Amino acid sequence: MNFNGLESIIVELNALNFEFQILALSSLIILSIGLLRVSTKFGIPSLLIFLTIGMLAGSDWILKIWFNDADLTRKVGSVALAFILFSGGLETDWGKVKPVLWKGISLGTVGVLLTCLIVALFAIFVMGFDPIIGFLLGAIVSSTDAAAVFNVLRTSNIGMRKGLTSLLELESGSNDPLAVLLTTSVLGFVGTSAPTWDALAWTIFQQFTLGIILGLLLGYWIYRGMNRIKLDYEGLYPVLLSASVLFVYSATDLIGGNPFLAVYIAGIIIGNRSFVHKRSNVRFMDGIGWLMQIVMFLTLGLLVFPSKIPSVAALGIAFSVFLTVIARPAAVFLALIGFKEVDWREKLLVSWVGLRGAAPIILATFPYAKQLPESEMIFHIVFFTVLTSLLLQGSTIPFAVRILGLEASLEQRASYPFEFENKDKSDTQLLEYIVPYGSASVGKFVYELDFPENSLITLIYRGDSHLVPTGKTKMEDGDVLLVLTPEGAEGKIREILSRMGDRRDS
């Protein structure tokens, strides 16, 4: 027998299989991107499209792609979630987050704990689950999903008033760490090596403390490094930033901190400072964030066996309805009970936008590592819950905003064709400001704005047009100003533009 010939055939088949896998993956990504316009047109959350495509390509349905590696899914999902959180943090305006900081922290901690407890009690005493399974289900679905919330809020084309968008993004970006910690802690009680309560409390303290400290320190060091290093090739800066995300994630995890919290805080620190090639890097990371969302949801869709969902449909419906209608609103109202400025309509909207997405599904893969007999049932119940959340809540967010009377004009995002590169390392920076609707600056000439000395409006983004202003250019509602200004003058400019009343309409 010619073993050499047989070996060559096997090598060729393996190579063909790899090429087919690459072809299948790239085709699914291209199809997902192509259907984005469809999802926007009909108000369907794009993440639901990605998830459905993954399911259709899976072993139960059309393409019959066999995939059953829960551990690989967990690893891919964790890294993807780190990039999504970093990208979200990078585009988070600290000036908008600061007023809602304590509300977001309360929702991200107290809200998560209450959701976990309420859902667990329902699962144990109403659905009849074992206490460990009940608390595991509660922990897995206790947080809103950053990928889902970022995606839906930024593609729904609707604005919300009173900083609600910032509050929802802050909550979704900061509550995943506690959900991960609760899930792993509950799993720790499975078997003979259950942790003591004081050990559990210490772990929570350590994870959050180290996550915050390392996020702040590493974020600042990355920002300093991006400005100090002088690379000959501009294309290396996005590579450096991407590697930095992985460094923050892995270093924090190895030291014992919460890696998801660290990368989100690092993103906020870097995104709110001026660094070399900032706009191109932010655009690159936004693209990486989209790619990670698509890959993550496709992978999760492939892992699901749709034929097994009907067997848990009844449990899934009861679980989803209770989580959406009872547990989430109760947790939100209780977590925000000390904030008198948040009225009942805003609390209702925050409750409804508590989307579940990839994070709960990723957490549902954790029981596989413990080889729990109920792990498959847990996974499909959680998956059913996520489908319900994306389909029902995600598609009705614009309607909920309007019916509650919380709609506001959508802020424009500038798309100017250049960026400022500070080669002399001075304190000058190019910043973006939006003239709020109702601002007293509307109708005034540029020379009347009383901006700080040495601050210059270089470009105005108005609708689909770019205007080069003169002293006689009048401000209009929603103008996006590109201002060249010395460091330290940002607050003064923001204060001038945010003054309301006494406007001079033309």
| pLDDT (tens digit per residue) in 417-470 | 555 555 555 667 777 788 877 788 888 888 888 888 788 888 888 877 788 888
Rg of the chain over all Cα atoms, to the nearest angstrom: 24
Helix (H, G, I), strand (E, B) or coil at 416: coil
Distances (CA, A) of 242 to 238, 255, 267, 275, 341: 6, 20, 11, 15, 39
Q: What is the residue extent of each domain of the chain? A: 22-408, 428-498
Q: What is the pTM of this model?
A: 0.76
Helix (H, G, I), strand (E, B) or coil at 110: helix
CB atoms within 10 A of CB 156: 20
pLDDT at 503: 55
User: Please, which residues bridge with residue 484 across strands?
Assistant: 430, 456
pLDDT at 411: 60
Distance between CA 137 and CA 166 in Å, rounded? 28
Distance between CA 166 and CA 103 in Å, rounded? 11
pLDDT at 144: 86
Distance between CA 481 and CA 321 in Å, rounded? 45
Q: Which CATH superfamily is domain 428-498 in?
A: Regulator of K+ conductance, C-terminal domain (3.30.70.1450)
Distances (CA, A) of 391 to 402, 433, 496: 18, 35, 42
pLDDT at 34: 84
Helix (H, G, I), strand (E, B) or coil at 158: coil
- Residue 10, Cβ density class (10 Å: 0-12 exposed, 13-18 middle, ≥19 buried): exposed
pLDDT at 146: 67
What architecture (CATH level 2) is domain 22-408? Up-down Bundle (1.20)
State in Å, rounded, how far the first CA of the chain is from the last one. 92
Q: What is the number of alpha carbons within 13 Å of residue 372 lying toward its C-beta?
A: 23
User: Please, which residues bridge with residue 408 across strands?
Assistant: 159
Strand 428-434 relative to strand 456-462: parallel, antiparallel, unpaired? Answer: unpaired
pLDDT at 10: 42
Instruction: Give every residue of the chain whose pLDDT is below 50, as ranges.
Output: 1, 3, 6-7, 9-14
